[in-house]
Structure 1
Amino acid sequence: MIVKMKGSIVKKLFLINTIILIFFIILSFVFQNLFFEKFYVHKRKLEAINVLNNFVEIYEQTSDLKLSFEKSVDINKAFGYRFLILDREGNIKYAVNPVIDKGAKENIRIITDVIFRISTDNLLSKVEENSYISKVYYNKRFPISSIIAIYNLSEKNEYIVCSSLLQPINEASKVIRELYIYLFIAGIIVTLIISLIYSKNVSRPILEIKDVADRIANLDFSRRIEIKSDDELGMLAGAINTMSENLKNALDSLREANKKLEEDIEKEKRLERMRKDFIAATSHELKTPINLIQGYLEAFKDDVFEDKDKDYYIDILLDETKKMAGLVNDMLDLSQLELGKYKLTLEEFNLAELVKKVANKFEENIKSKNIELKLNIEDVFIKADFTRIEQVITNYLTNAIRHSTGKVEINLYKEDERVKFEVVNSGENIPDDEIENIWNKFYKIDKSGNKRYGGTGLGLSIVKNIIELHGGQVGAQNIEGGVKFYFVL
């Protein structure tokens, strides 16, 4: 059965340590009251028998009482022991007492008391030949406690008696009992203080470990445990620090892998959308010219057209074929640009010269539509992909001529260390809610499906991808009487 203790570990340690220390104090107090005096008396009995034994051995050899006493008793204990030689009837034959200077009365009183106790308890009859007996008795008349040790010396028909007072230990025990009450109270106070200090010192690293463990559980690896010892708690702290570091590294790796996986998944989704858009847009854009070409070819096969009209319809077929080829090329270019597979070939050139070159290509087309072209350009040298920038300018100018109502203006200048190219055409404004959509693939403002403006709807999307691949920006803005398209490098 597992018992769960409620409360903090500080309280638990404090309670346990206090109980243990108080238990030992009480145990010591009980031992002092119950066993100390008995233990002391037991030791004094053994000591009395040992002294008596030494006395007997010397006495048997020398028969000299004084010499036997001097050699058998320690000088520090000499005044605590008295010896009597008794005959078989218990009469005193000899007495050896170190308290000589206190007078005969004292000696007589003590000796009388010893003889009285021996005769009263009939101790002599209880001592076997050549053996010892010891006993403690209390004399109520004086009152005093004494130890009596008796040896039956059968060879000389004598009893050798050794006695010693126990009065000092009795008084000491009483004093110690009174003193122990104060010692007990002081011990309890000291115990409480020591238990509190000990429990806090022991629990501090445990609480710190718990705090770090809680942080790790919440995926917070910012804190480390400060290791101050090399004991089990220190090893545990080191293990938790290592675990935290490993978990952090593993989680970071997992996040990186997850991020890359999300990017790969998003890329796959984008590719899938592009494939679907490509198929849908291609089928939609190619359906009309293919049907037209098919119809004219069937008419040619059936010899429907007259000879004078055949060249006209062949030119129509060639024009539709060129449109289809241009659409396919634009879609391939856009696909490469969006996938990031196209690598720019950077070179330094004068953008103003390139603008003039492209504008000259549209000279006949501009004149045929009675469009006024105005160039406001200055020499600007850039480092870019010449072919792709030419494609951008061509698409911008094509779009402007297609939607212009009579005027096209090209501006090229530097502004704050940036190059800005603008194409402004007169005509209708783009609806504000659609101006951001013109950069999408196949987006056309004209939703009617007629061929008034022509185009594949890919030109501006190609422009956006080319400029962004160069690190630039594109934009379109409605102005009074027209629309301005621009890019910034």
Structure 2
Amino acid sequence: MLKMGRKGITLKVFLITSALLVVTASFIYLILYFFLPSYYYKYKTSALEEGTVRLVQDVEKISIEEARAKLDSFVQKYNVALVIHDKYGKILYFPSSFVPTFNIAIPSPPPSQFKTVIPEDELQSIKGEGIPAVYTIQKPIVFTNGQFIASITATLQPIDEASNAILMFTPYIVVIIIVVSLGGALLYARIIAHPLLKINHVAKRMANLDFTQICEIRSRDEIEELSNSLNELSYNLQQTMSELQEANEKLKDDIQKEREMEGKRREFIATISHELKSPITAVMGQLEAMICEIGVYKDRDKYLKRSLEIMQDMQNLVNEVLEVSRLETYDFSPKLSRVNVSDTVNNIIHRLEYFSTAKSIEMQANIQDGLYVLADQKLLEKAVNNIVNNAIKYSPQGKRVQVSLYEEQEHIALCVLNTGVKIEELELEKVFQPFYRIEKSRNRNTGGSGLGLFIVKRILEIHHVSYMLQNTNDGVLFVIQFPKEVSSA
């Protein structure tokens, strides 16, 4: 059923098509009613006149007896009454098979009810007004046995009968026109509007950001092209929306990370302030006491040396803070080169030999020669130095620190083991946080600044190198795994 509540495309097409069909059919019907009689009259008279001319020409060289077959054929073909007579009215030919339904005029002169339409030797007569009932032609006709007059009379009554029949049939014609027009319009409206309604349905779902519906129309015309364009638009919008959603999720993650970094940055600054406040206060107190020569601080040489040591620790802390700040820069990029990691580790072990000897710690090195990795030389040295230095610093006196570097099937592994110590499982992840110290006294001589392993973590993350800190039966093991594809650079 058509939706009549609002003027949809189906209703519009239906109404327009119905109106066109009704108007067209009515127009054709009126044309038939008003113009068919006159057209038929002209056609009939013209055909009769042409046939008469041909008949006269055909019988010129034969006698009237020989022309009887042609005359009978003419009568049957044109359904007329043909009478051939002389100028005195004597009938020489009359078709035996013709039964006249009207009076045959053999005028001389023509009766008053006829009108002469062909001058001189040719007479055409029309009876009545408007479309006449009969049509008469009198024309001279010549045979070998003499010249005579052919009186031809044709009835035009069927024209009036056809007009009356059309008029009587008008109510039925109107009903048929309306029914056929409405049925045809309904079918046409459905054929035309159905694909448009499907396109409209898909477009509405697209407006609601639902791109799952596909418009399938196979009409091989512009509507099919529109359907394909709509499907392509839907696909492109779906792809764009997916990309926007991914970008939005990434943006949310970036914002969340930025917030976390901002929180860490505030915490980092607060911790730095605390770390710097204590030594500055200590130095200021010592300097004021030395200036005022209070108690033991009268020995200026001794306490100036201590103040210098504190300031050196502060300088080291500031340098590490600057290093952290540089590594935390958003656009920081390491200067990668092919580094001989075997030589780098050996050099660091020799450099820290003084500190291991001071604590009677045995250094065991198992370094495979000729191993290379793609890394930033300075950053790699900084990370390895911090790891080995921490191993020495946190190992009890007289214990052992073992450094191994070797090639595995998929990695180059660097392992640093310091014996005689354990780290609580809950603290294994915390040791990589800035300013976190396992040694709770916060003594820099025994606990360091708390930034060493944090710097190691950032350097390894920048190089996309995996690392692990774990407890073993012998102590604490730090493992770094350089991927082979990096090492082959």
Aligned mates of 2:91, 2:453 — CA distance in 1: 136
Deviations 1:315-372 (A, max 9, x none): 3212211111111111111111122525325243252x43343233333433433433
Aligned mates of 2:242, 2:17 — CA distance in 1: 47
Give the structure 2 partner of residue 147 of structure 1: 133
User: Are residues 462 and 133 of structure 1, via their aligned partners in 2, closer, same or farther at CA, if it must alter by over 3 Å?
Assistant: same
Q: Does 1:419 align with 2:412?
A: yes
Aligned mates of 1:457, 1:343 — CA distance in 2: 23
Assess if the C-alpha contact under 8 Å between 2:83 and 2:93 holds in 1. no
Tell me the SS of whatever aligns to 2:311.
Answer: helix
Task: Identify which of 257, 266, 270 aligns with 1:276.
Answer: 266
Deviation of 1:39 (Å): 6.0
Aligned mates of 2:52, 2:369 — CA distance in 1: 138
Aligned mates of 1:233, 1:363 — CA distance in 2: 85
Give the structure 1 partner of residue 393 of structure 2: 402
Give the structure 1 partner of residue 428 of structure 2: 435
Deviation of 1:385 (Å): 3.3
Tell me the SS of whatever aligns to 1:453.
Answer: helix
Aligned mates of 2:467, 2:204 — CA distance in 1: 52
Task: Identify which of 292, 309, 322 aligns with 1:319.
Answer: 309
User: Are residues 361 and 46 of structure 1, via their aligned partners in 2, closer, same or farther at CA, if it must alter by over 3 Å?
Assistant: closer
Q: Does 1:348 align with 2:339?
A: yes
Aligned mates of 1:97, 1:449 — CA distance in 2: 155
Assess if the C-alpha contact under 8 Å between 2:438 and 2:447 holds in 1. no
1:70-89 → structure 2 map (5 Å cutoff): 75=74, 79-82=78-81
Deviation of 1:26 (Å): 7.8
Give the structure 2 partner of residue 357 of structure 1: 347
Count of equivalent residues: 430
Q: Does 1:133 align with 2:118?
A: no
Deviations 1:391-419 (A, max 9, x none): 22221122222322342322322222422
Assess if the C-alpha contact under 8 Å between 1:212 and 1:223 holds in 2. no
1:10-409 → structure 2 map (5 Å cutoff): 31=29, 41-46=37-42, 75=74, 79-82=78-81, 94=89, 100-102=95-97, 110=100, 113-114=102-103, 132-134=126-128, 147-149=133-135, 162-164=153-155, 207=198, 211=202, 214=205, 218=209, 233=223, 236=226, 269=259, 272-273=262-263, 275-304=265-294, 309-339=299-329, 340-341=331-332, 343-344=334-335, 346-351=337-342, 353-383=343-373, 384-406=375-397, 407-409=399-401
Deviation of 1:114 (Å): 2.7
Aligned mates of 1:271, 1:450 — CA distance in 2: 28
Runs of 5+ in structure 2 lacking a partner?
54-63, 65-72, 106-110, 118-124, 139-150, 483-489
User: Are residues 133 and 307 of structure 1, via their aligned partners in 2, closer, same or farther at CA, if it must alter by over 3 Å?
Assistant: closer
Tell me the SS of whatever aligns to 1:433.
Answer: helix
Deviation of 1:5 (Å): 5.8
Deviation of 1:286 (Å): 0.5
285-294 or 396-405, which moves further after superposition?
396-405
TM-score normalized with structure 1 length: 0.64
Give the structure 1 partner of residue 451 of structure 2: 458
Assess if the C-alpha contact under 8 Å between 1:81 and 1:164 holds in 2. yes
Aligned mates of 1:208, 1:287 — CA distance in 2: 73
Assess if the C-alpha contact under 8 Å between 2:202 and 2:214 holds in 1. no
Assess if the C-alpha contact under 8 Å between 1:422 and 1:486 holds in 2. yes
Assess if the C-alpha contact under 8 Å between 2:366 and 2:403 holds in 1. yes
Assess if the C-alpha contact under 8 Å between 1:293 and 1:320 holds in 2. yes
Letter in 2 for 1:476: L
Aligned mates of 1:76, 1:450 — CA distance in 2: 143
Tell me the SS of whatever aligns to 1:114.
Answer: coil
Aligned mates of 2:217, 2:307 — CA distance in 1: 83
User: Are residues 55 and 424 of structure 1, via their aligned partners in 2, closer, same or farther at CA, if it must alter by over 3 Å?
Assistant: closer
Deviation of 1:466 (Å): 1.6
Give the structure 1 partner of residue 120 of structure 2: none
Deviations 1:124-147 (A, max 9, x none): 77768988434799xxxxxxxx93
Assess if the C-alpha contact under 8 Å between 1:421 and 1:488 holds in 2. yes
Aligned mates of 2:152, 2:234 — CA distance in 1: 81
User: Are residues 43 and 245 of structure 1, via their aligned partners in 2, closer, same or farther at CA, if it must alter by over 3 Å?
Assistant: same
Letter in 1 for 2:453: L
367-376 or 74-83, which moves further after superposition?
74-83
Deviation of 1:283 (Å): 0.6
Assess if the C-alpha contact under 8 Å between 1:428 and 1:483 holds in 2. yes
Aligned mates of 1:389, 1:268 — CA distance in 2: 27
Tell me the SS of whatever aligns to 1:419.
Answer: strand
Tell me the SS of whatever aligns to 2:446.
Answer: coil
User: Are residues 225 and 359 of structure 1, via their aligned partners in 2, closer, same or farther at CA, if it must alter by over 3 Å?
Assistant: same
Computed over aligned residues only, the root mean square deviation of the Cα atoms, in angstroms, reads: 5.9
User: Are residues 39 and 95 of structure 1, via their aligned partners in 2, closer, same or farther at CA, if it must alter by over 3 Å?
Assistant: farther
Aligned mates of 1:97, 1:432 — CA distance in 2: 144
Deviations 1:136-170 (A, max 9, x none): 99xxxxxxxx9324799xxxxxxx99342757997
Aligned mates of 1:97, 1:26 — CA distance in 2: 52
Aligned mates of 1:76, 1:482 — CA distance in 2: 136
Deviation of 1:468 (Å): 2.5
Task: Identify which of 458, 462, 466 aligns with 1:469.
Answer: 462
Aligned mates of 2:92, 2:468 — CA distance in 1: 130
Deviation of 1:289 (Å): 0.7
Deviation of 1:295 (Å): 0.8
Letter in 1 for 2:388: L
User: Are residues 374 and 95 of structure 1, via their aligned partners in 2, closer, same or farther at CA, if it must alter by over 3 Å?
Assistant: farther
Assess if the C-alpha contact under 8 Å between 2:468 and 2:478 holds in 1. yes
Percent identity, aligned pairs only, is: 26
Tell me the SS of whatever aligns to 1:430.
Answer: coil
Deviation of 1:482 (Å): 2.5
Aligned mates of 1:342, 1:56 — CA distance in 2: 113
Deviations 1:8-31 (A, max 9, x none): 96x997x78996898699869x94
Deviation of 1:292 (Å): 0.8
Aligned mates of 1:449, 1:97 — CA distance in 2: 155
Aligned mates of 1:473, 1:82 — CA distance in 2: 121
Deviation of 1:470 (Å): 2.7
Letter in 2 for 1:374: Q
